[in-house]
Amino acid sequence: MDEDTELSLTIAQIIQRLKGSHLHSQLERHAKECLHQPEIKLESLKEDVRSFLKTAGWERKLQNAVYRELHVQVPLSHPAAPPEHLKEPLAYMRTAQASWEKRVLKSLNSMSTELGVPLARKRPAEVQMELTHKWNEMGTDEPDLSRFRPVYAPKDFLEVLIGLRNPNHDSREDVSARSHWGLIQVPLNVQDIPQLRQTYSELNLSTGQLGIDDHAHIHPDLFESEYFQIGKKVIVEQDSAAAQQYSRQGCPTGLRADLWALILNSTNQPQDVMHYEQLKAGVIHHDLLVDNLIYKDVKLTASNDDYYFVFEDFLYQVLLCFSRDTAVLEHFKYNSATPPKSYIQGKTGNEECAVVYPPNVAPLCFLYNEPSKLYSVFREMYIRHFFRLHSISSSPSGIVSLCLQFEQLLQTHLPQLFYHLRQIGAQPLRIAFKWMVRAFSGYLSTDQLLLLWDRILGYDSLEVIAVLAAAVFAFRAENLMEVTSLASAEAVLADLSTLKVMPLIQIFLFATAI
């Protein structure tokens, strides 16, 4: 497919998607309304209407909507390629994902049968009333969740990834000193430090960075003050592309909420608030088995976390609504996963994207105190980025590639450390996997985590997670060379809450000898 054909198809696809959107109907309405304006002339109707809409700010809104579609659209493939190639081009990855889904669903179904709790059911009227009254105080509830077990742990998912093999690749062909050091044994292209330096050029040692230059003994006028003013201009201009570029050097605390919403084109319009209220009604009316798993996960994690326990109610609200949001189903067009189905009172329905491994919503609670805004930003981050951390795919930002990239970075640039840990039965990936699968949420201090996520949004990639994981090992290398077991290696890396993210990434990428 040549470039012109590809561009034409991309434009047609975006136009088709935007035609059914709320933005399209708003544009149509305003275009009709402006026909009554005296400055609109019949002989130059098209140009005058376009000029009017541009002056009213609709051109920028349309640009942001197109920019958003470019980030989430289904990737174009060869016209003869079967539809499943859109989800995942490699057959063995598709097979592994389908097998993993069967395992998760089997676990859910067996739990449903054992406990006598249906996957989905309508709540009795009195329960609906009670839930409505305590919607903002769900954290005070203490249901007995002892019978509900987690569907899977990170280590279960890691074992599946370790078992992945490409049937068309004979690993004996490239036997060398570094062939089988790592746990991930699939041939995927991942970037090494020279390529990463080009990709992440804005993170170089000579460029100002939030997370470094705002903490150093440097007068704020030299970087911080001017950078803050630029950020305010970006927000005033309401340009998603400019906000994304700006985010590469970090977002100031006071501007981060607006900048992230702008990058993700999360506008929180009245229709977004209405959508959130509809999802809330869905939670109140119907009880899903996964609700109990969400309750249990939040109770076991955020409720006991020094940073996040105050947001317990927000977490329930967002995750329970998320498990019922049909808009999330859109991302399955380009996700190797397939949504599970459920049935309510004999009517076919969807257990809309049952998230049995709740994603990383807690840190966003520091930015947004309005549930509908918090929800729309979280959903957009999930369908752009975080879904890749718990589905099996060949995407460069997928968890398989991140694991491979982490191992290759460590093996190439810290071979003695890698070999030592491997010899004592402490494969580095077994320690780092839990950090990566949660995008470091719950491991770093909140201010550092948000600085890391600034770069995820700025570069539209999760690769920086693998880089940070390798940088943490490099930082603690001296201590790790002394350990003699997996337990002692885990102890050395148990507490990451004091680490500063940006100096670690910067030094690993730009001060490592290659």
Tokens of 456: 């995820």
pLDDT at 53 over 70: yes
| Domain stops at, among 366, 385, 404 | 385
pLDDT at 173: 52
pLDDT value for 82: 74
Q: Say if 97 falls within a structural domain.
A: yes
- The better pLDDT of the pair 3, 418 is held by 418
Note whether 46 and 101 are same-domain residues: no
Q: Is residue 199 part of a domain?
A: no
Query: How many domains would you assign to the chain?
Result: 2
Shared domain for 156 and 277, answered yes or no, is: yes
Coil/strand/helix, residue 420: helix
273 and 363 belong to one structural domain = yes
Mean pLDDT confidence for 126-135: 91
The three-state DSSP-derived secondary structure of 250-306 is CCCCCCHHHHHHHHCCCCCCHHHHHHHHHHHHHHHHEEEHHHHHHHHHHHHCHHHCC
Q: What is the mean pLDDT of residues 362-389?
A: 89
74 against 248, higher pLDDT: 248
User: What pLDDT is attached to residue 77?
Assistant: 60
Which of 152-166, 177-191, 233-247, 337-351 is the least confident region?
A: 337-351
If you average pLDDT over residues 478-494, what whole number do you get?
95
Quick check: 206 pLDDT over 70?
Answer: yes
Residue 136 burial (CB count, 10 A): 12
Q: Is residue 192 part of a domain?
A: no
> Sorting pLDDT into bands at 50, 70 and 90, what band is 423?
very high
What DSSP assignment string belongs to 169-221? --GGGG--TTTTSSS---------HHHHHHHTGGGSTTS--TTTTTTSS--GG
Residue 411 lies in a domain: no
- Does 304 share its domain with 367? yes
Q: From CA 346, how far away is CA 344, in angstroms rounded?
A: 6
Domain check: are 106 and 138 in the same one?
yes
Predicted pLDDT at 74: 62
User: According to the model, what pLDDT value does residue 63 have?
Assistant: 80
More confident residue, 297 or 231: 231
Query: Residue 418: how many CB atoms within 10 A of its CB?
Result: 22
Residues 10 and 153 in one domain: no
The answer to the question of residue 510 being in a domain is no
Pairing of strands 341-344, 286-288: unpaired
* Range scoring the smallest mean pLDDT among 9-23, 315-329, 393-407: 9-23
pLDDT value for 1: 59
What are 337-362's pLDDT values in tens digits?
Answer: 877 654 444 333 343 343 344 456 78
Interatomic CA distance for residues 138 and 370, integer angstroms: 16
User: Is 455's pLDDT higher than 90?
Assistant: yes
> In the listed set 46, 72, 98, which residue is the last one of a domain according to the structure?
72
Query: How far is Cα 434 from Cα 156, in angstroms, rounded to an integer?
Result: 11
Give the pLDDT confidence score for residue 361 in this predicted structure.
77
Does residue 100 sit in the same domain as residue 54? no
Whether residues 271 and 360 share a domain: the answer is: yes
* Angle formed at CA 287 by CA 282 and CA 293, multiple of 5 degrees: 115
| Domain contains 497 | no
Last residue of a domain, one of 350, 385, 420: 385
Dist. CA 45–CA 35, nearest whole Å: 9
The residue among 458, 397, 404 whose CA lies nearest residue 75 is 397
Report how far residue 232's alpha carbon sits from residue 216's, in angstroms, rounded to the nearest whole number: 23
**Same domain for 33 and 154?**
no
Give the pLDDT score at 349.
38
Give domain status of residue 334, yes or no.
yes
The per-residue pLDDT of the chain, averaged, comes to 84
- Whether pLDDT at 177 is above 80: no
pLDDT digits (tens, 9 = 90+) for 258-293: 999 999 988 888 888 999 999 999 999 999 888 888
**Same domain for 380 and 273?**
yes
Q: What are residue 349's DSSP bridge partners?
A: 342
**What pLDDT is stored for residue 57 in this prediction?**
76
Residue 296 and residue 159 in one domain: yes
Alpha carbon distance, N-terminus to C-terminus of the chain: 37
Average pLDDT score over residue span 246-262:
94
pTM assigned to the model: 0.86
The pLDDT, as a whole number, for residue 220 is 65
Q: What is the per-residue pLDDT for 161?
A: 95
- Co-location of 36 and 153 in the same domain: no
Determine the structural domain holding residue 322 and report its residue range.
90-163+267-385
- Residue 275 placed within a domain: yes
| Lowest mean pLDDT segment, chosen from 122-131, 297-306, 336-345 | 336-345
Of the listed ranges 22-36, 221-235, 375-389, the least confidently predicted one is 22-36
